[in-house]
Structure 1
Amino acid sequence: MRLRAALLATSLLAATPFAAKATTITGPYVDIGGGYNLTQTQHGHFADTEDGPGREKLGHRHGWTGFGAFGWGFGNGLRAEIEGDYNWSEIYSKTRGDKGSDRSYGGFINVLYDIDLKRLFNIDVPVTPFVGVGAGYLWQNAHDVTVGNNAARSLSGTKGGFAYQGIVGAAYDIPGVPGLQMTTEYRMIGQPSSFTMGNYTASGPEGTGHASFDHRFNHQFIVGVRYAFNNAPPPPPPAPAVVPPAPTAARTYLVFFDWDGAALTGRSREIVAEAAQASTHVQTTRIEVNGYTDNTAAHPGPRGEKYNLGLSMRRADSVKAELIRDGVPANAIDIHGYGEAHPLVPTGPDTREPQNRRVEIILH
């Protein structure tokens, strides 16, 4: 029951939501923690009875554990660390008369792996689980531990031996403190069979002797904090490439004419074709074609202004006809003739100015 309750408490704590996703460690870090230590009942072998070796159970009740570690994260989820441990356990059994306490201390070398749920499984939760294994050496110490009712045995002594452990846990970032994380974990520590606890003395006809115990298992439920020194925030993502807007097609085109002429040149036809093509790529509701002349005329005097009005219309008609040949619907084109009005380049009277002899194609 105690083991199931401790497992449930650790699971609930690991499931508690936090504000930020735990980070994968790169570089050095330190880790400390402590919590509940539950040691399974052991069986002892005693060489003190007149009829041969005796056997007794060694009952454990409550205990606690603490550890400190220094490690290195490789940035890909893998970590390696050196750890120091101290464990204490109460020995008590009313039915068997066990009482006292024992403790163990030593160290492990651990290899762990942080599971990045977002990267591996696209699960976006604020927790990074981790698993690990370790191997090391623990010294077991007992002082005046009483075992058994009848031929009560008093154990004392210190003995060391190989130990191993498995680790399952989770880490959470502490908001506002870069590099600082909270951890919760379960550990199972094992020490091989025939582990020698120490010498003992026995009451009654039995005397002193040598005691050994079978495989020892510690179940530990731990809360801790971990600090990573290389906690600079990741570089910001590169700024998105700025794609320049596509050049806007011109909406006004100029077609120039020879003096007193309304015929299109080769270059003029190219400009008209560009305007026709542009009208299919930009939003166009109508096309305005305006004809102009300079302030000279083949017939000077008042007749000259009237003549130039007609000449500007003939020029506009030439451009309109070319637009229609280039695929522009006739009903989309409006033409006007303005004669000498609205010169592109202001001049004195009776001046031949090539830029004023023009037609403007305006896309609306």
Structure 2
Amino acid sequence: MKKLILAAALATAASGTVAYADEQGPYVTVEGGGVKQERADVRDSNSNFRSDRFRYGWEAGGAVGYDFGKFRLEAEGFHHESWMKSEQTATGLYTRNANTLSGNTYTTAFMGNVLFGLGHWGGVKAYAGGGVGWASIVLHENSAGSVPVNNRDNGYAWQAIAGVTMPVTHNIDLGVKYRYFRPDGTDLFRNAQQNFAQTSLRSHSVLATLTYNFGHAAPPPPPPAPVCNKGPYIVFFDWDKSDITPQAATILDSAIQAYGNCGSAAISLAGYTDRSGTPKYNLGLSARRNASVRAYLTSHGVADGTISSTAYGEANPRVPTADGVRELQNRRVEITYGPGSGN
């Protein structure tokens, strides 16, 4: 039993690094496994003292509760039985057989538990907590060294719990659970002479659990909607040229990538020149620059029908200059997604 308890504790500690349990919903659990009573020291009202030892027994139970995410509230009921192994009295040591020792103990308990957990829905979850409630215990004890006991006591009980679960489906978890149980309010049992025998029963249980979760993991939040950066994206040209330079191509590539977040938005091109040529010539040059940008966009997958262009020539300079001055900042095409560009 000590090895089983240690294994359960190690499994709980190993899974304690998992975090973020934020799902909610009702659940039901069934459980079953082994129980080991601690040595019970018994003293009756005549000051007779003895020490009882028990064999391993069995335990079965279940719980219904609600998972609030990082903690759970549940109502639990269980029953376990153990059989006497030996009894040490003032007159000697008695071991279980038909002539010298027989007996067992039955425990039925109903508990309210608070459990705090780490883990996530659909993954490993560890939990620990405790509970309080009511227990009913029947003690049968018949040995050559003491007055027989066959009596029931009811009263307050408390417990400490730890465990770990793993999913087998989206809603079903398998697990292992450890319970330390103390029915402190159930320690007086009458013997055949109607004298009280005060007995402190303590038990350790290791249980397999099967849990059905009626709730579901909250759906992940939708990804943020892509933001359309409408620009403007500005490409510049060499003097008296409409060719796309390597630097301009880099800017256009970024503009095309950004356009992927803009759906089927219209694209507006606004072409400009500096003031180093005649107004008529510059108007045509700005149109040719628009055409070069348009050709680059369509060659990279942008639909031609979404593109409109306007040639402005010398109008709207980025850097105001005197007539005839060459200025790189004014030799440009501005690309804007959506209506209203180029004004």
- TM (norm. structure 1) is 0.59
CA contact (8 A) 2:8 2:178 kept: yes
Using the TM superposition, give the Cα deviation of residue 83 of structure 1 relative to its aligned residue in structure 2, in angstroms: 1.1
**CA–CA separation in structure 1 for the residues paired with 2:102 and 2:14:** 38
> What's the counterpart of residue 267 of structure 1?
none
Residue 273 of structure 1 deviates from its aligned partner by: 6.4
Paired residues for 1:275-354 under 5 Å: 322-324=324-326, 327-328=327-328
Say whether residues 1:130 and 2:110 are aligned partners: no
Residue 198 of structure 2, aligned match among 190, 206, 213: 213
- Root mean square deviation, CA, Å: 3.6
Which of 129, 148, 155 matches 1:154?
A: 148
% same residue: 22
Alignment partner, residue 241 of structure 1 = 225
Amino acid aligned to 1:253: Y
Q: Distance in 2 between matches of 1:78 and 1:11?
A: 19
Name which of 5, 8, 24 aligns with 1:7.
5
Q: Which residue of 1 aligns with 2:36?
A: 38
- Of 181, 192, 212, the match for 1:189: 181
Contact 2:11 2:164 in 1 (8 A): no
* One-letter amino acid matched to 1:163: A
In 1, distance between residues paired with 2:20 and 2:79? 27
Q: Distance in 2 between matches of 1:323 and 1:238?
A: 53
Once the 2 structures are TM-superposed, how far is the Cα of residue 199 of structure 1 from its aligned partner?
Answer: 2.6
Aligned residue-pair number: 251
User: Does the CA contact (< 8 Å) of 1:128 and 1:170 recur in 2?
Assistant: yes
Counterpart of 1:272? 314
What's the secondary structure of 2:148's corresponding residue? strand
Cα 1:162–1:6 change in 2 (3 A) is: same
Correspondences of 1:108-127 after superposition (within 5 Å): 108-116=111-119, 126-127=123-124
Measured after TM superposition, the shift of residue 218 of structure 1 is: 0.8
Kindly name which structure, 1 or 2, has the bigger radius of gyration based on alpha carbons: 1
For the pair 1:169 / 2:163, whether they are aligned, the reply is yes
CA contact under 8 A between 2:279 and 2:314: conserved in structure 1?
no
What is the distance in 2 between the residues matched to 1:193 and 1:82?
19
Task: Give the unaligned 5+ runs of structure 2.
Answer: 88-92, 96-100, 235-268, 281-311, 334-343
Amino acid at match of 1:115: L
**Which amino acid letter does the alignment assign opposite residue 47 of structure 2?**
P
Is the 1:22–1:172 Cα contact (8 Å) retained in structure 2?
A: no
Contact 1:142 1:198 in 2 (8 A): no
The CA distance in 2 between the partners of 1:112 and 1:22, in whole Å, is 15
Judge conservation of contact 2:12–2:162 (CA < 8 Å) in 1: no
- 2:105 matched to which residue of 1? 102
Assess, with a 3 A threshold, how the Cα gap between structure 1 residues 193 and 29 changes in structure 2: closer, same or farther.
closer
Q: 2:81 — aligned with what?
A: 88
Do the aligned partners of residues 28 and 224 (structure 1) sit closer, same or farther apart at CA in structure 2, a change above 3 Å counting?
same
Q: For 1:282-335, what per-residue CA distance to the aligned partner results, in whole angstroms no more than 9, with x for missing partners? A: xxxxxxxxxxxxxxxxxxxxxxxxxxxxxxxxxxxxx996342xx339xxx9xx
Kindly state the Cα deviation for residue 107 of structure 1 after the two structures are TM-superposed.
0.6
* Superposed structure 1 runs of 4+ greater than 6 Å apart: none
Q: Distance in 2 between matches of 1:212 and 1:167?
A: 29
Q: Which SS does the other structure have where 2:94 is aligned?
A: coil
